[in-house]
Amino acid sequence: MTDAIGVLGTGSYLPSRIVSNEEVAGPAGVDAAWIERKTGIRSRHRAAAHEATSDLAAAAAAQALAAADVDACEVSLIVVATSTPDHPQPATASLVQNLLGADLAAAVDVNAVCSGFVYALAMAHGQLAAQRRGGLALVIGADVYSRILDPSDRGTAILFGDGAGAVVLGPVPRGRGLYASQLRGYGRDHDLIGVAAGGARLPASERTVREGGHHFRMKGRAVREFVSAHVPKLVDQLLVEHDVPCDEVRHMVPHQANGVMLAELCDELALPRMTAHINVDRVANTGAASVPIALDEAERAGRLAEGDTVLLAAFGGGMNSALALLER
């Protein structure tokens, strides 16, 4: 019986240009060894001049469609999670729909910053579950953070890379698939992460450009404190609410924020049999793309066995958090 909804195929795309710590260290006023010691990052990928978020998203989506043996014209919904859209409007998802030829799909963007992919996954799952005819959804996380970084800001310039990851959601056998999600918002902490200019409150002007208002800014220490204070507790709550024993979680695919932070988070989680899938050392923080890229790498490497319980865990600007449980 196929009355559950799960992942039918995964895909990812990383731009061909690899940027070393040595390249970003100088403008940020640090050295390469300091970057690796503080973040666990050794390299990151950067989009080419002709590549925008929609291009990365479409490339990852094409891989996911191929893995699922699904044609783009069969997709009924495309959700793109991004905080670096091609344009303020139209939605980047509309551009992806056109690039893929998914002519029958609804298309919409979700901006929950680095939590965006898990938010989008939960929303797409809910939409498919509400449709009597079922359907297929493409859920994509894609970001090109290199376009909004201040190279001299060591708190951000060293952390981010560009990339995209995608999954195809559709019907799977009962007992499989995505079966739990938990989305939380903490708007009182909205000032920890953001881009100040370019919106309705502070429209783009010569002054906002001159003052660096369009650059991404982050209060790193406060973000780390937020993660430590909230994420372990929320994971415990999710497992209790859905009667999942801690030792049943075999895999965690986290947002790849910072390697040192992830090591601390893994130590704080009471998941004795859990393997954390980490690629931040090679690809850095790719925003909304980080969870689906790591999920695709784990899937293609054969690390996820049938029946395994997988925890997706993300946190990002807003502030917000997003968790999901799926049965492989």
Residues tagged active-site? 114, 255, 285
Phi, psi dihedrals of residue 24, rounded to the nearest 5°: -90, -15
Q: Which amino acid is at 149?
A: L
C-alpha span between 224 and 319 (Å, rounded): 12
Phi, psi dihedrals of residue 318, rounded to the nearest 5°: 150, -50
* List of residues 6+ apart from 306 with CB closer than 8 A: 328
- Read out DSSP for 90-146? S-HHHHHHHHHT-TT-EEEEE--GGGHHHHHHHHHHHHHHH-TT---EEEEEEEEGG
C-alpha span between 131 and 135 (Å, rounded): 7
3-state secondary structure of 54: helix
* List of residues 6+ apart from 294 with CB closer than 8 A: 165, 253, 254, 256, 277, 278, 279
Using alpha carbons only, how large is the chain's radius of gyration in Å? 19
Q: Which of 166, 109, 122 is nearest to 141 (CA)?
A: 166
C-alpha span between 89 and 105 (Å, rounded): 18
